[in-house]
Amino acid sequence: MVSDVTNNPTSQYYKTASDLELRNFYAAKASINTNFSIPTIPPTIPKVYEGSVARFGKDTAELAVSHFQGVIQSFFVGLIGAKRILEIGTFTGTSAIYFASALKRNGVKGNPDDNGNKSVICLDISEEFAEIARDNFKEAGVEDYIDIIVGDAHESLASLEGQQFDVIFIDADKISYTAYFDAAIEKRLLAKGGLFIIDNTALRPAIQLIDCPAPLPKDKMPEEGMCDDFGAYHYFGRPIHEFNEYIRQDKRCEVVMLPIFTGVTLIRMLENN
């Protein structure tokens, strides 16, 4: 359940929300600094959630970043003085609106640079989602900041060679995380001092592989009691666990996984490697 922290929630919300949801809500609300002229939680975000739920069903609310994750990611944008952001996996635009609003708050201009590139480049495979996201960007007043490239991110990433980004947010199909990370490094898309933010790195099917080596043998089935859903293990658990092990062993990376939401991993590249 996504509560609207920009308004007072109903007493029904307080009664039915879990401890985790309440803590999330409380933390998001405590993160709103009323002195900012551009709010840390962009005012149209609740409408984006509502629109997605109305069109694609209530489970889709979980696809978008939560208010609290949005404000944390925005904080990183200001912290590292980011000017350009690449997002892989945009859905209806929630995280991109947070990123663009953070750039705006920090004085970054949205209009295209001399090469016609905007500050935030979003990649998504779905034209349907992209169309909705574009409307949501307009509604949020950040359409000048964001371009969406529609297509398979494996191909779109190759087309970005020559550009650089201060933040690269990976939140698309979980089976491709390692490929997206490798492509970003190989094409030198991350600027010096830049930050990778990777979503969903502690999804339940992955943490059930806590003691497994990686890469896992291709024919390996989950151990008894290790995983309650073979499908989830197969499609999410294995690739996410392998990605986590892959970057953990990469000497070029400093990695920290925040055990919040479904896991958010931060990666910065060491400069002497």
Q: Which of 31, 106, 117, 126 binds ligand SAM (CB under 6 A)?
A: 126
112: nearest Cα among 151, 149, 84: 84
Binding mask 91-120 for ligand SAM (x = CB under 6 A): xx-xx-------------------------
**Closer Cβ to ligand SAM, 226 or 232, answer by number:** 232
List, in sequence order, the alpha helices (H) in 43-198: 45-56, 67-79, 94-105, 127-140, 153-159, 177-186
Binding mask 137-156 for ligand SAM (x = CB under 6 A): ---------------xx---
Nearest 5°: the CA angle 176, 182, 184 is 100
222 binds ligand SAM (CB under 6 A): no
- Residue with tokens 């970005």, as numbered in its chain: 160
Cis peptide bond N-terminal to 222, omega within 30:
no
Q: What is residue 27's DSSP assignment?
A: H
Three-state DSSP at 258 gives strand
> Which range binds ligand SAM by CB under 6 A, 11-19, 39-47, 125-133, 236-244?
125-133
Site for ligand SAM in 56-95 (CB under 6 A): 63-65, 89-92, 94-95
Q: What tokens does 68 get?
A: 């609290």
**Closer Cβ to ligand SAM, 40 or 94, answer by number:** 94
Distance of closest approach, residue 123 Cβ to ligand SAM, in angstroms: 5
Site for ligand SAM in 171-190 (CB under 6 A): 171-173
**Closer Cβ to ligand SAM, 155 or 186, answer by number:** 155
Taking 3-state DSSP, the helix, strand and coil percentages for the chain, each rounded to the nearest 5, stand at 45, 15, 40
> Total residues at the site for ligand SAM (CB under 6 A)?
19
Residue length, the chain? 273
Distance of closest approach, residue 264 Cβ to ligand SAM, in angstroms: 12
Distance of closest approach, residue 165 Cβ to ligand SAM, in angstroms: 15
**Closer Cβ to ligand SAM, 62 or 113, answer by number:** 62
153: nearest Cα among 190, 181, 188: 181
**Closer Cβ to ligand SAM, 172 or 212, answer by number:** 172
Which residues have a Cβ under 8 Å from the Cβ of 140 and sit 6 or more positions away? 42, 43, 44, 45, 48, 93, 97, 100, 101
The residue ranges that bind ligand SAM (CB under 6 A) are: 63-65, 89-92, 94-95, 123-126, 129, 152-153, 171-173
